[in-house]
Amino acid sequence: MNKKQAVLSSTLILSLLAGCSQPATDTGAEKAPAGDPAKGGKSTVQFWHSLGGKNGEYIDAMIKRFNDAHPNIEVVGSFQGSYDETVTKLQQAVAAKTAPDVTMLERAYVELFSDADVLEDLTPHLKKSNLSADLFTPGLMGHSTFNKKLVALPFNRSTPILHINKSMLDEKGLAVPTTWDELKKVANALVIKENGETKRYGMTMPYDTWYPIAMITEAGGKFFSDNSKSIGFYDNGVGVKVFSFLKDLQNSGGFYYPPAKDSGNITNQMFVSGKVGILYGSTGSIGSLASTVQFNYVTAFLPKDKVYANPTGGANVAMLSSSKNKDAAWEFLRWMSTDPKGGLQFVLDSGYLPYTKAMVESKEIKDLWAKEPNRKVAYDQLQYAVDTNKHVAWPEVMNEFFKAMEAILYDSKNIQSTLDTFKKEADRILSK
């Protein structure tokens, strides 16, 4: 089996990840015919993305701005569902030779497609436009280059941060936690119990691998070992430390772990309604939370154990090597990265991180950060960005990691034996 066949055959694996997917609205997966600019027609660029709701509206507005400024190119944006659903559809489209010209890819999936050799090397396109990869924000480039090819560019990128009900902390005379020890103290101090029932929890986080991975790195571990043949938080005791910390807090009421389905909305609503004081969440939630809460709301770095550390998240954009409209597709990617009406406006609208150095230095971003300092916290935290879950087998290993998380946090299974099982399964997958 060659690499391209391997990536196409992994559709089954990704279909197992439905627990962290959201319903899709497929607005069209087939390629529209491309016009001939020389004959007065338009080059059509199919762009698949994974943003719905308000962020989907911001994507649509960005595409309209591009089309209005480029009479010879028409970008057609198609929402393909969640990140996982988009990946599955893309695998199917590559096999059927109906892949789009440009696609959004959650950053941890880029290597899967790069390894299959179906993504365009963007370095020649950058050079042709007198640009280089140096224009992008360094902390967001960890999932862009594989096998010495630049195959993806950052776009809607985020990091996990703490969202804090500062009013709640102030009532108790508590400071914003900066370490795990402080976090445990604050979370437990915020708990309110009545008649044996927990009415208010200290902290919460959505059902996601993102947050345990952050804590693994903060405790001095890595998700994958340096030789990529095993996991990097087993033999050093880091895994037991992380899950023991969470389980102790869960048992005291200091930590609420939500059901898998709709966990993000559940935890956000708990935070907004004052049923929890500290929320581990994405930077992409800042805008909606700030416009909804009725208390003093601040953001902060993820607390450290041994070190400050945080993974990055969100998605990159990539061009498919099968595209018949590469010049037009590149113009769209270039415009998103360098034109103020492109990605900068999208960042301002959505709250995602500025992904080029020029955006960071722009008057618009500086004015925004002065007005809303909560948004700058996420950018400042990029100095501690570390992505340790980079591996072509990540999707399959992630599925096993979810099982381990569920066993510990839902079913109260023994932490060490659960990690024993996870390591065995991860080693099996990585030995393929």
pLDDT in tens, 388-406: 988 989 989 999 999 999 9
Q: Which of 221, 248, 415 is nearest to 305 (CA)?
A: 221
Q: Enter the tokens of residue 72.
A: 């010879």
8 Å CB contact between 115 and 107: no
What is the per-residue pLDDT for 1? 43
Say if residue 122's pLDDT is above 90. Answer: yes
Residues 140 and 178 in one domain: no
Q: If you average pLDDT over residues 39-50, what whole number do you get?
A: 86
Residues 268 and 167 in one domain: yes
Q: If you average pLDDT over residues 68-85, what whole number do you get?
A: 95
Residues 255 and 401 in one domain: yes
State which of 19-23, 40-44, 206-210 shows the largest mean pLDDT.
206-210
CA-based max dimension of the chain: 77
What phi and psi values does residue 313 have, to the nearest 5 degrees? Answer: -145, -165
What is the per-residue pLDDT for 16? 34
Say if residue 114's pLDDT is above 90. Answer: yes
Residues 205 and 75 in one domain: no
What is the per-residue pLDDT for 19? 32
Q: If you average pLDDT over residues 266-282, what whole number do you get?
A: 96
Q: Kindly state the percentage of the chain with pLDDT values over 70.
A: 91
Per-residue confidence band for 408, with pLDDT thresholds at 50, 70 and 90: very high
What is the per-residue pLDDT for 54? 85
The helix or strand, by DSSP H or E, that contains position 380, with its residue range, turns out to be helix 373-381
**Averaged pLDDT of the chain:** 90
Say if residue 15's pLDDT is above 70. Answer: no
Question: Cβ–Cβ contacts within 10 Å for residue 87, how many?
Answer: 28
What is the per-residue pLDDT for 84? 87
Say if residue 124's pLDDT is above 70. Answer: yes
Per-residue confidence band for 349, with pLDDT thresholds at 50, 70 and 90: confident
Question: Cβ–Cβ contacts within 10 Å for residue 94, how many?
Answer: 20
Does the residue 324 lie in any domain? yes
Does the residue 368 lie in any domain? no
What is the per-residue pLDDT for 40? 55
Q: If you average pLDDT over residues 64-76, what whole number do you get?
A: 97
Residues 203 and 300 in one domain: yes
From 7-16, 96-105, 224-233, 344-353, the region with the lowest mean pLDDT: 7-16
Residues 80 and 216 in one domain: no
Q: If you average pLDDT over residues 183-195, what whole number do you get?
A: 97
Say if residue 26's pLDDT is above 60. Answer: no
Say if residue 31's pLDDT is above 60. Answer: no
Q: If you average pLDDT over residues 41-61, what whole number do you get?
A: 93
CA angle at 56 for the pair 340 and 388, rounded to the nearest 5°: 80
Q: Enter the tokens of residue 90.
A: 């893309």
Per-residue confidence band for 268, with pLDDT thresholds at 50, 70 and 90: very high
What is the per-residue pLDDT for 35? 44
Task: Give the three-class secondary structure for 369.
Answer: helix
What is the per-residue pLDDT for 243? 98
Does the residue 381 lie in any domain? no
Say if residue 6's pLDDT is above 70. Answer: no
Q: If you average pLDDT over residues 280-307, what whole number do you get?
A: 93
SS3 track for 262-319:
CHHHHHHHHHHCCCEEEEEEEHHHHHHHHCCCCCCEEEECCCECCCCCECCEEEEEEE
Which CATH number does the domain housing residue 330 bear? 3.40.190.10
Residues 301 and 319 in one domain: no
Does the residue 254 lie in any domain? yes
Say if residue 266's pLDDT is above 80. Answer: yes
Residues 169 and 287 in one domain: yes
Residues 25 and 135 in one domain: yes
Beta bridge partners of 78: 48
Say if residue 373's pLDDT is above 80. Answer: yes
Q: Which residues contact 122 (CB under 8 A, 6 or more apart)?
A: 150, 151, 152, 153, 319, 330, 333
Does the residue 367 lie in any domain? no
Q: If you average pLDDT over residues 91-100, what whole number do you get?
A: 96
Does the residue 208 lie in any domain? yes
Residues 321 and 208 in one domain: no
Question: Cβ–Cβ contacts within 10 Å for residue 23, how many?
Answer: 8
What is the DSSP secondary structure assignment for residue 37, as one 8-state letter?
A: G
- Number of domains present in the structure of the chain: 2
What is the per-residue pLDDT for 37? 44
Does the residue 270 lie in any domain? yes
Does the residue 423 lie in any domain? yes
Say if residue 273's pLDDT is above 90. Answer: yes
Q: Kindly state the percentage of the chain with pLDDT values over 90.
A: 81
> What range does the domain containing 227 cover?
160-311+388-430
8 Å CB contact between 306 and 30: no
Residues 275 and 393 in one domain: yes
Residues 252 and 353 in one domain: no
